[in-house]
Structure 1
Amino acid sequence: MESLGDLLKAMPGGRNMKQQADKLMADLLEDPLVGMLRNKYPELDDATIKLNLNRIYQCTKEYRNCTNCTGLDQCPNDFEGHYTELSCETVGGVVQLNDRKVACKKLIARQSENRIRSRIRSFYIDDRALSQGYSADEIVSKDIERMKAVGQVIGYINRTKEEGLQSEGLYLTGSFGTGKTFLMCYMLHELAKAGFTGAIVYMPEFVEDMKSLMFEQGKLKETVDLLKDTDLLIFDDIGAENLNPWVRDHVLGSILNYRMNRKPTFYTSNYGLDDIEQHFSFTNKDGDDLHKGQRLMDRVRPYVQLVHVTGQNKRGR
């Protein structure tokens, strides 16, 4: 932003600074913003305005910048995302003009959104799914066929906001591209606004990474502990992963065993609960082990509400 000194120098005949200052003083006295300031502080006289010409000029300049704001990234004010606010007080019979920097609405909104995002961790999920923002109207109107599922998710969100963490999560099942992940990201975003932490894990890549961490116990424990402790945990696209006995029993089993009766866990899948139990029962190493599959499902089935997500495939649209 140009300073008052720069403005005076740039004016024709800038060497006659007193004349130019007098002209600027006269212009400021006619400025509606200065009129509003004087209405608020009747004690603000011409002498005080002249003494604080630079402050008042900066205030009016920043106010107009904010009025015509095109976004924080293009903010021309001295302190990005802030404007100057003026106030008056009389001390010992002398009128004093004070200024302070105030955060604008756009900066406050961005800071609030950053705090929300800091409560959410994503593993192998496109961050745009969590950062784009959502509206309830968009969620409802996107596909009328999935209205029932949307109602269940929104109902769950409202219950959690009113009552705190629930004892059960949700299991979203449906065909490819019906918006299961989209709905879970919406839930995370809404509940992060209410102060809850959350994590969403894309299962196929997560399982492969866990296999590679088998002999890196420090990193493995850090990841597992994070997923155990977060308020809301989503396993996305469960059933699409290539399980081995170690990941199933010592990683996934450990996380679910800790969370049951403590914190809700959520799932999205193209498979129903019975099909997922069969999936858990089979590994490439050991073949079928129905007991192990049932054991894991005992930590899933009783702790979820089943949600059928119907509708059209929206991928690529």
Structure 2
Amino acid sequence: MAMMEALGDVLKRMPNGRDALKQADRMMQDLLAEPLVVKLRAKYPELDEHTIKLNLNRVYQHVKEYRTCSNCPGLEQCPNDFEGHYTILSCETVAGFTQLIDRKVPCKRLLARQREQQIRSRVRSFYVDDRALEEGYSAQEILTNDPERMKAAGQVMRYIAKTKEDGLQKQGMFLTGSFGTGKTFLMCYMLHELAKSGFTGVIVYMPDFVEDLKALMHDAGKLKETVDMLKETDLLIFDDMGAENLSPWVRDHVLGAILNYRMNRKPTFYTSNYDLDMLEQHFSFTNREGEELHKGRRLMDRVRPFVETVIVTGHNKRGNHTP
């Protein structure tokens, strides 16, 4: 208080000092009339004008940031001192002395961004365009944008709901259909939705992934790390299965090991232009036909019993923005 009085004496001695004091007093009265300050004083009756005068900067910051947040320009243009945060005030009386306490709290937009980042951190992709994982289409849009795809979309929606309600399923899904009908998008949507409930997921674009696996043959540590991740993730999607140039080594020692571990434990999902019978032929195709037919069938025994088939029909959506 002594400092404020000393400042008042200085202002009085300055030219127009009394006008400055009157202006400051008007500003103080305007601040006291602010609905936010009136509400604050109603919540804390002990908050008198004297305490407010001692904490003008805090009260002003509180009001200014509230106004800014009420007309939020977006996180990227947030003008507050601490991006994505605003000041809230509370009172505490200690030994008869009223203290005004301020603290910064995150706004709803920052919390939403942090939640989205947390969701995305649960999902990893190999060679799949990240934009497919970042689309924000609603369930309604997915169901209605292409009526021909409605049945397939409904199956995926039901799977998502069942997993959210009952927990991780042992059975996955096999999405089959012609090129560009949205199979990958439906799986990315599923990953994103289930990541909101805490499930981790990996989506792998098979043609590129298989070529990288061949290169990892001579890097045992990196190969083990990759295979272990695919074994352990909650949700695993092999995207465009059947389009890869599959070698017997990848089929038997990598895919076979992953699927053998996951069956009856965690769900595996597939998108493919093939149906299950055609995929078995793809797994069996080598120069050593007799032996490889057996191995192809053996791998399919780790796929076929553990998936629900989803036939995805509709229009080719490649090259436009329709999900």
TM-score, structure 1 as length reference: 0.92
Aligned counterparts of 1:53 and 1:115: Cα–Cα separation in 2: 38
1:160 aligns with 2:168: no
User: SS of 1:99's equivalent?
Assistant: strand
Give the deviation of 1:16 after TM superposition.
8.1
Q: Equivalent residue of 2:238, what SS?
A: strand
Q: Render the CA deviation track for 1:264-291: whole Å, top value 9, x for unaligned.
A: 10000011000000000114x6567211
Pair 1:311 & 2:319 matched: no
Superposed displacement of residue 17, structure 1? 6.6
Task: Say which of 69, 72, 87 aligns to 2:72.
Answer: 69
Structure 1: where are the runs of 5+ without partners?
1-12
Shift of 1:25: 1.4
- In the alignment, the residues of structure 1 paired with residue 90 and residue 270 of structure 2 have an alpha-carbon distance, to the nearest angstrom, of 55
State how far apart, in whole Å, the 2-side matches of 1:177 and 1:130 are. 16
Residue 238 of structure 1 deviates from its aligned partner by 0.3
* Structure-2 separation of matches of 1:51 and 1:174: 71
The residue type paired with residue 318 of structure 2 is R
What's the % identity of the aligned pairs? Answer: 74
Please, which of 267, 272, 277 is the counterpart of residue 269 of structure 1?
272
For residues 153-205 of structure 1, what are the alpha-carbon distances to aligned partners after superposition, in whole Å with 9 as ceiling and x for unaligned?
A: 11111111111111210000001111100100111111111111110000000
- Structure 2, unaligned stretches of length 5 or more? 1-15
AA in 2 matched with 1:44:
L
CA RMSD in angstroms comes to 1.7
User: Counterpart amino acid of 1:242?
Assistant: N
Q: Is 1:42 equivalent to 2:45 in the alignment?
A: yes
Match of 2:207 among 183, 204, 208: 204
Deviation at 1:92, TM superposition (A): 1.8
Distance of 2:289 and 2:114 partners within structure 1: 51
Q: Does 1:80 align with 2:100?
A: no
Contact 1:181 1:268 in 2 (8 A): yes
Instruction: Supply the AA of the counterpart residue of 2:29.
Output: A
Aligned to 2:296: 293
Letter aligned with residue 226 of structure 2 = T
**Cα gap change, 1:243 to 1:15, in 2 (>3 Å):** farther
Amino acid at match of 2:218: F
Which shows bigger deviation, 30-39 or 148-157? 30-39
1:59 counterpart = 2:81:
no
Match of 2:148 among 125, 145, 150: 145
**What secondary structure sits across from 2:245 in the alignment?**
coil
> Aligned letter for 1:277?
E
Q: What stretches of structure 1 move > 4 A for 4+ residues in a row? A: 13-20, 285-288
Superposed, which structure 2 residues align to 1:81-160 within 5 Å?
Answer: 81-160=84-163
TM-score by length of 2: 0.90
The within-5 A match list for 1:189-268 is 189-268=192-271
Q: What displacement does 1:132 show?
A: 2.5
Q: 1:86 to 1:290 in 2, by over 3 A?
A: same
| Partner residue of 2:187 out of 184, 198, 208 | 184
The aligned counterpart of 2:177 is: 174
Between 78-87 and 288-297, report the one with greater CA deviation. 288-297
Give the Å deviation of 1:32.
2.1
Letter in 1 for 2:131: R
Separation in structure 1 between the aligned mates of residue 167 and residue 317 of structure 2, nearest angstrom: 33
**SS, match of residue 181 in structure 2:** coil
Question: Where does residue 32 of structure 1 map in the other structure?
Answer: 35
Q: Is the 8 A contact 1:14 1:20 kept in 2?
A: no
Q: 1:14 to 1:205 in 2, by over 3 A?
A: farther
Count the aligned residue pairs. 304
Structure number, greater radius of gyration? 2
Instruction: Report the Cα offset of residue 20 of structure 1.
Output: 5.0
- Bigger mean CA offset, 103-112 vs 13-22: 13-22
Q: Match of 2:258, as an amino acid?
A: I
